[in-house]
């Protein structure tokens, strides 16, 4: 089992409260604000490359109606995903996972890599992300935590990842059978929606020694409550609020 020292604060999609999500700018901003880890979402392009993006379509962040997974990486990397956020970020582009790994190494940052498959590409995305990590994760930063809402993606990824990589199941609400589900999958950490976590289940997870991390926590009183329940880490759009 992995023994990665994950900090208490992870910047969600980079410091996405301050810079456009899932971009190099958001990762650099997280670093500038003092965060040591970032979370970001990884998808698979039409030509089988891994890139950072959250939504199935590019409407919200790039203003185009294409499905993200219908484009090739070279075309994705030409889109402007900064202007929607703020004119200061006009021209900010979608990064490839490969480029982001180099950036993490340059900044000395760790990461929670979320596998975010487009519908129908769960296995392929899980396997592609895992292969990228296995062959290109920088040796000078901590191994990643890999998470996904998709069990299929995690099942495809796990056999391709080294034992140093921690695997987390992402849930909205944590099911009562969380322990069996983790064991069946071979995952060793729980990531869940902060607003749907119950105190009793948090206590069970904490007592078992299983890492428990919550998204998306942007208010100090909520963070305090969660830490009081034994939550190990919060994933936030505003890391500066907590650092």
Q: Show the tokens assigned to 90.
A: 């006009």
Among 147, 169, 232, 236, binds ligand G3P (CB under 6 A): 147
Among 35, 104, 170, 189, binds ligand G3P (CB under 6 A): 170
Site for Mg ion in 36-55 (CB under 5 A): 41
Q: Show the tokens assigned to 15.
A: 């410091």
Among 85, 89, 215, 229, binds ligand G3P (CB under 6 A): 215
Among 2, 9, 12, 103, binds ligand G3P (CB under 6 A): 12
Out of ligand G3P, Mg ion, none, what residue 31 binds, judged by CB under 5 to 8 A for its kind, is none
Out of Mg ion, ligand G3P, none, what residue 123 binds, judged by CB under 5 to 8 A for its kind, is none
Give 94: exposed, middle or buried? Use CB within 10 Å, 0-12, 13-18, 19+.
buried
Question: Could you say which of 18, 54, 66, 136 is catalytic?
Answer: 54
Is 31 one of the catalytic residues? no
Residue 149 CB, nearest distance to Mg ion (Å)?
Answer: 9
Under rule CB under 6 A, how many of the chain's residues touch ligand G3P?
A: 10
Question: Could you say which of 12, 18, 31, 191 is catalytic?
Answer: 12
Interatomic CA distance for residues 230 and 237, integer angstroms: 21
* Residue 191 binding ligand G3P, by CB under 6 A: yes
Among 28, 39, 82, 109, binds ligand G3P (CB under 6 A): 39
* Residue 237 binding Mg ion, by CB under 5 A: no
Q: What is the DSSP string of the chain?
A: -------SEEEETTTTTTS-TTSHHHHHHHHHTT-SEEEEEEEE-TTS-EEE--SSBSHHHHS--SBGGGS-HHHHTTS--STTT-GGGTT--PPBHHHHHHHHHHHT-EEEEEE-PPTT-HHHHHHHHHHHHHHH--TTSPPPEEEES-HHHHHHHGGGS-TTSEEEEEESSPPTTHHHHHHHHT--EEEEEGGG--HHHHHHHHHHT--EEEE----HHHHHHHHHTT--EEEES-GGGT-
Stretch near Mg ion under the rule CB under 5 A, chosen from 33-41, 75-83, 159-167, 178-186: 33-41
Nearer to ligand G3P, 20 or 72 (CB): 20
Is 54 one of the catalytic residues? yes
Residues at the site binding Mg ion, with contacts judged by CB under 5 A: 41, 114
Enzyme catalytic residues: 12, 54
Binding stretches for ligand G3P (CB under 6 A)? 12, 39, 41, 54, 114, 147, 170, 191, 215, 235
């Amino acid at each position: 089992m992995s023994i990665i020292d994950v900090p208490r604060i992870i910047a969600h999609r980079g410091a996405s409260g301050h810079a456009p999500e899932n971009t190099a700018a958001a990762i650099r901003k997280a670093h500038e604000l003092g965060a040591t880890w970032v979370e970001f979402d990884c998808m698979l392009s039409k030509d089988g490359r891994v890139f950072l993006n959250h939504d199935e379509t590019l409407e919200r962040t790039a203003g185009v109606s294409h499905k993200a997974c219908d484009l090739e990486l070279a075309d994705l990397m030409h889109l402007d995903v900064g202007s929607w956020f703020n004119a200061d970020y006009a021209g900010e582009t979608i990064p490839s996972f490969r480029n982001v790994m180099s950036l993490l190494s340059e900044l000395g940052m760790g990461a929670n890599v979320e596998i975010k498959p487009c519908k129908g590409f769960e296995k392929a995305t899980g396997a592609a992300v895992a292969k990228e990590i296995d062959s290109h994760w920088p040796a000078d930063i901590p191994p990643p935590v890999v998470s996904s809402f998709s069990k299929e993606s995690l099942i495809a990824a796990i056999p391709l990842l080294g034992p140093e990589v921690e695997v987390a199941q992402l849930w909205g609400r944590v099911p009562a059978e969380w322990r069996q589900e983790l064991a069946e999958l071979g995952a060793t950490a729980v990531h869940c929606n902060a607003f749907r976590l119950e105190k009793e289940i948090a206590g069970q997870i904490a007592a078992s020694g299983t890492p428990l991390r919550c998204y998306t926590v942007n208010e100090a009183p909520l963070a305090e409550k969660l830490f009081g329940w034994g939550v190990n880490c919060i994933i936030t759009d505003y890391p500066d609020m907590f650092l």
